[in-house]
Amino acid sequence: MTDLLTPVADGQGGAPPTTAATTLTTAPIVPPVAAPAWLTGADEARVGYVQNKGWTDPTQVVESYVNLEKLLGADRAGRTVVLPNPDAAPAELASFYDKLGRPSDPSGYKIPVPEGVPPEFATGVAAKLHELGIPKAAGDGLAAWWNEQATAAQTASNAALDASIAADDAALKTAWGAAFQQNVALAQAAVRGLGIDKATIDKMEANMGLKATMELFQKIGAKTGEPDFVTGEGGQKFGNALTPGQALAKIAELKADRDFITKLSRGDAGARAELSKLNAFAYPEGS
């Protein structure tokens, strides 16, 4: 008995029934939209762009451009740049840097340098700024900032050196007391005798300090066999002056000398004058 619900197989004397599952439907063919007359002559891509935007007349295109200028700013419209790829050719990079405001050559930068810096330094800096594609405004600003920093650093260094020299000078006057001028003369004589120029002295003072430098040359001068030195002011001699330390040592030596103590106790004028002189050296005025 034939099941009326079972379709007859193909080739068994009957055509297969048509069902919703086996029915093929054909999508309607939509004809292409013709380009508007005001786009006559435009290529297919441009026509497609306009159609995708839904523009139907030129007024809409102009309106879109006006809105774009409002977004970008009228002063920037047409002046935008595209970042080059990491592997961009040198010519492409050069064009990009030029659009950013790089000078046409290194001489376009303004590179001030601190006093004492050779001009070749500024030339080298300008060349490097140009090579790196730095815009003129940025390069000039960077150079001015560096100049300010270098000048400030040099000023601070000079101030520190001046303070160090003043402190060393005060320390020498305290250490040498009444023998200060005498020891300075000894140090100066040693420098002259050795033929040392000012540049060398300046370097020594910068590295050792004024006090250590003066003490070194004073010791050298004391070994030269010139016990007396005459200054240019009135011919006053300082050859017999003692430093506070030397005077204190001499006082201690005399206090251990019985003959001196006996003379002093008897009011010997010579002993009293020697002790007074030593006390003046040991305790200079203002110390």
- Checking if the pLDDT of 2 tops 80, the result is no
- Checking if the pLDDT of 254 tops 60, the result is yes
Mean pLDDT of 87-98: 91
Domain boundaries, the chain: 37-72, 242-287
Answer with the residue of higher pLDDT: 248 or 213.
213
Specify which residues 230 forms β-bridges with. 237
Q: Which of 27-41, 155-169, 170-184 has the lowest mean pLDDT?
A: 27-41
186-192 contacts at long range (C-beta below 8 A, 24 or more positions apart): 186/217, 186/218, 186/221, 186/222, 186/226, 186/229, 187/214, 187/217, 187/218, 187/220, 187/221, 188/217, 188/221, 189/221, 189/224, 189/226, 189/229, 190/217, 190/218, 190/220, 190/221, 190/224, 191/217
Mean pLDDT of 4-18: 53
pLDDT band at 284 (very low <50, low <70, confident <90, very high): confident
Which residues in 29-60 are b (16+ Cβ under 10 Å) and which e? eeeeeebeeebeeeeeeebeebeeeebeeeee
Mean pLDDT of 173-177: 91
- Checking if the pLDDT of 20 tops 70, the result is no
Q: How far apart are CA 89 and CA 111, in angstroms?
A: 29
* Mean pLDDT across the chain: 80
